[in-house]
């Protein structure tokens, strides 16, 4: 691995899946080891592994574990169904499981399924590297008034993918090419992917970062230091509407208000062309306790209600560029998406 790219969170060991446990980062670096498909289901549901592409990759290896444990096709199909129920929004999960199902339906055995899962892993890293190049090329250093900074949300890096990252991959490439000199990261309430994961991941690679709470984003954009807001995606519909971590939609509105450009970075596996618009995307709602407590410590009065949607939808007309490994869509529309990916 070259500079600015040292982290890997998913490691396949032939008969077990090592997942860097993202619930305890940054203060502990421990692996959760999955030997059975149902352990992968639990790992995805409980956020040991998270991020759209990473969930798909982990689920593919979950299918391999199922095939190694039972040679009965019906039992492997049952495991695929369980994996599909782990989380609802990121379409990469269903895409990866469909790819594994096709191998199974074609008579593939455990060895063949393992090859497919490894291919999904390798292709994801390659796609991220390509998107890194394409996205970085959009960033003109001269367009930023001071500080050459970008703002990102959630964690979209090596922790959220097979490696390198989507939005964070663009940031890695742009930093390596000296197109940017600084990264601002939202802490990303309530699960703190920005504070716990993005901050840790960028520190590992020596990329300078300043953490902000989401409430500071408007003031930050007003300073003129930030040229682009760069985010990932969990599902992009046929018209370019984009589901991503809750808070992304608000950032897109803030970016437009302040004349800052807004970039979505996602592989073609994140597109769901069967859905016409973002209103049709199933949005995961997570437990109230994630909002009413912090690291297991209550922060709100007992019994108070909370609303905890995990994702929101940014309308395509607030997006300046969608970067995929197949090319870039500027000012996305249904027609543009169809031309690139249809």
Closest approach of ligand MRU to the CB of residue 325, in Å: 13
Q: Smaller CB distance to ligand MRU: residue 88 or 108?
A: 88
Closest approach of ligand MRU to the CB of residue 174, in Å: 16
Residues with Cβ < 8 Å from 255, sequence gap 6 or more?
Answer: 221, 229, 261, 262, 318
**φ/ψ bin of 217: left (φ > 0), alpha (ψ from -120 to 50), beta (otherwise):** alpha
**Which residue's CB atom is positioned nearest to ligand MRU?**
232
Q: Smaller CB distance to ligand MRU: residue 161 or 314?
A: 161
Task: Annotate 47-62 with b (16+ C-beta within 10 A) or e (fewer).
Answer: bbbbbbbbbbbbbbbb
**Alpha-carbon 52 to chain mean position:** 4
Beta bridge partners of 211: 185
Closest approach of ligand MRU to the CB of residue 231, in Å: 6
CA separation for the pair 136, 156 (Å, rounded): 15
Closest approach of ligand MRU to the CB of residue 3, in Å: 21
Radius of gyration over every alpha carbon of the chain, rounded to an integer in angstroms: 19
CA separation for the pair 34, 116 (Å, rounded): 18
Residue ranges of alpha helices (H) inside 85-198 are 91-105, 110-137, 167-176
Closest approach of ligand MRU to the CB of residue 50, in Å: 3
Q: Smaller CB distance to ligand MRU: residue 116 or 234?
A: 234
Q: Smaller CB distance to ligand MRU: residue 91 or 117?
A: 91
In this structure, what are the phi and psi dihedrals at residue 99, rounded to the nearest 5 degrees? Answer: -65, -40
Beta bridge partners of 236: 242, 271
Are 330 and 321 contacting, i.e. CB atoms less than 8 angstroms apart? yes
Closest CA to 202 of 216, 182, 178: 182
CA separation for the pair 166, 107 (Å, rounded): 33
Q: Smaller CB distance to ligand MRU: residue 108 or 157?
A: 157
Residues forming contacts to ligand MRU in the complex (CB under 6 A) are: 50-53, 90, 154, 156, 160-161, 166, 193, 232-234, 244-245, 310
Q: Smaller CB distance to ligand MRU: residue 47 or 110?
A: 47
Closest approach of ligand MRU to the CB of residue 140, in Å: 24
So which residues are the catalytic ones? Answer: 234
Element (H, E) at 62: helix 52-69
CA separation for the pair 217, 206 (Å, rounded): 23
Closest approach of ligand MRU to the CB of residue 67, in Å: 26
Residues with Cβ < 8 Å from 155, sequence gap 6 or more?
Answer: 50, 51, 168, 188, 193, 194, 197, 198, 201
Q: Smaller CB distance to ligand MRU: residue 115 or 285?
A: 285
């Amino acid at each position: 691995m070259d500079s600015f790219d040292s982290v890997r969170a998913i490691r396949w060991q032939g008969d077990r899946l090592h997942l860097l446990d993202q619930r305890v980062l940054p203060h502990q670096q421990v692996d959760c080891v999955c030997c059975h498909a149902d352990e992968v289901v639990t790992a995805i549901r409980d956020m040991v592994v998270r991020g759209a592409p990473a969930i798909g990759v982990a689920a593919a290896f979950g299918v391999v574990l199922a095939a190694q444990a039972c040679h009965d096709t019906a039992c492997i199909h049952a495991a695929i169904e369980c994996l599909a129920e782990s989380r609802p929004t990121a379409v990469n999960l269903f895409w990866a499981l469909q790819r594994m199902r096709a191998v199974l339906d074609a008579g593939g055995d455990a060895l063949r399924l393992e090859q497919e899962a490894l291919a999904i892993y390798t292709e994801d890293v390659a796609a991220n590297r390509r998107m890194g190049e394409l996205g970085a090329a959009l960033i003109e250093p001269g367009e930023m008034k001071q500080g050459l900074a970008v703002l990102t949300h959630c964690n979209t890096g090596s922790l959220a993918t097979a490696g390198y990252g989507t939005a964070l991959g663009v940031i890695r490439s742009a930093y390596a090419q000296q197109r940017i000199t600084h990264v601002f990261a939202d802490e990303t309430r309530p699960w703190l992917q920005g504070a716990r994961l993005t901050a840790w991941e960028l520190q590992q690679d020596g990329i300078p970062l300043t953490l902000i709470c989401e409430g500071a984003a408007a003031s930050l954009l007003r300073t003129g230091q930030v040229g682009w807001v760069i985010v990932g995606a969990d599902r992009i519909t046929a018209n370019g509407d984009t589901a991503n971590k809750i808070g992304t939609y608000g950032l897109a509105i803030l970016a437009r208000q302040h004349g800052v450009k807004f970039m979505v970075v996602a592989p073609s596996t994140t597109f769901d062309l069967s859905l016409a618009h973002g209103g049709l995307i199933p949005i995961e709602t997570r437990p109230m306790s994630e909002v009413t407590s912090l690291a297991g410590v209550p922060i709100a009065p007992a019994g108070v209600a909370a609303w905890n949607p995990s994702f929101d939808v940014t309308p395509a007309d607030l997006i300046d560029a969608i970067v995929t490994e197949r090319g870039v869509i500027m000012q996305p529309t249904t027609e543009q998406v169809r031309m690139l990916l249809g």
